Amino acid sequence: MRIVLPVARLVLALCGFMLLSSLLSPPVRADGGAPNLAYVAGTTSGINVIDIAQQRVTGALDVNGDPQTILLSVDGRLLYVTQPALKRVAVVATYTKKALCTAPYPGHPTLLTLDPGTNTLYAAGTDANVVEAIDPMTCTIRHTLTTSGPVEGIAVAIVGGSILGGNGNQLWVANALGLTIFDAAGKQLANIALGDGPRYLSIPPGPVAYVTTQQGSVDAVDLHSRRVFPRLLSGGSFGPMDFDETNGEVYVPDRQHNRVAVLAPLSPATSATPHEPLRVIAMPASPQSIAITSDGQFGFVAVKDGTVVMLDIPGRQAVNTFHVGGQPHFIITGLYPSSVSLTPQQATVLSIAENLSHYAAAGVVVIATIIVIVLNRRRTRRPQ
């Protein structure tokens, strides 16, 4: 008994430490290796990493094949990279910076978009009339979509019934003749003719898709009626866009005029379109691509002169410049701030997991306490 009781006390102390550690540990985060980071492709190193909080370049990813469009998974654990020189798409773990798998493409892939409802990665290239639907966890090809011409742009419209859209989301594909819309299963739903040659697509939350054209304009399309609002902007050369999730404003890199044009959100219910642009932000050289953080606080612009310009979005001004070299042509931001950028489903799952760990630790302590009490009672009842 003199041996059992000290052991029980040791177990109790250990369990108490486990409970205290569980309660004092930081919240579980779903950011994997990419919390508060921005990734820029086309740099001297291929892909550079910028720490948003520290406001400095912190590293690079050794990804060859002339990476073009890059995307992050919803939880930031995976980086999806087009490698047109190798005719494939790679999935890279952001924490280890190692490729997990690759998917072949019949042409030279330069375009990516992600459907969060079905967790499907779509890849396309401007030299093929094919869009591949890829399983981003295994790189297997789920199905292939054939378009009427080489693909110029792709984007997912989250129009399903759930928060992430589920199986109700739509894939919008731009080619020289117009826009083609597919459902999540790959069935063609509609064609929208656009004579100016649509190119890059951006679809913010809400009822409107935005598309740049090869003739130097930005058009809008009602997701439901498919009515076209032509030439919200014109007379420029526009790159890949992004949007502010907090207010619906759309940010358009104007490569010709060395500026970023900001569009006011369009309401299809009104007959008059807003006067655009709402405002412009001057750039030191030709802006190629832009990414806005999910909280609407910061923007990052990939500039052709080898820099990335950091924007204070509420302050409507540039606040920092990062030198990355090369000719940056695409940029994406991870979860920022990571503690508030989770989807409701992720937050719920993580909260449940964290609570279960706390309850488990507390349960172990209770059981250990009961054991100690029982052993003490037996000890006091045993005849001396």
pLDDT digits (tens, 9 = 90+) for 208-242: 999 999 999 999 999 999 999 999 999 999 999 99
- Within 10 angstroms of residue 3's Cβ, the number of other Cβ atoms is 7
Three-state secondary structure call for residue 242: strand
Assign a CATH topology to domain 37-341.
Methylamine Dehydrogenase; Chain H (2.130.10)
| 116 φψ region: left (φ > 0), alpha (ψ -120 to 50), beta (else) | alpha
The per-residue pLDDT for 377 is 55
pLDDT of residue 151 exceeding 80: yes
- Work out the average pLDDT over 376-380: 54
pLDDT of residue 16 exceeding 50: no
Give the dihedral sign, CA 309/312/313/317. Answer: negative
The per-residue pLDDT for 297 is 95
Nearest to 305 by CA among 324, 331, 279, 281: 324
- Work out the average pLDDT over 346-357: 38
What is the per-residue pLDDT across 270-327, written as a single tens digit (0 to 9) for each? 877 888 999 999 999 999 999 999 999 999 999 999 999 999 999 999 999 999 999 9
As a whole-number percent, the residues of the chain with pLDDT over 70 amount to 79
Chain centre distance of CA 53: 18
The per-residue pLDDT for 273 is 80
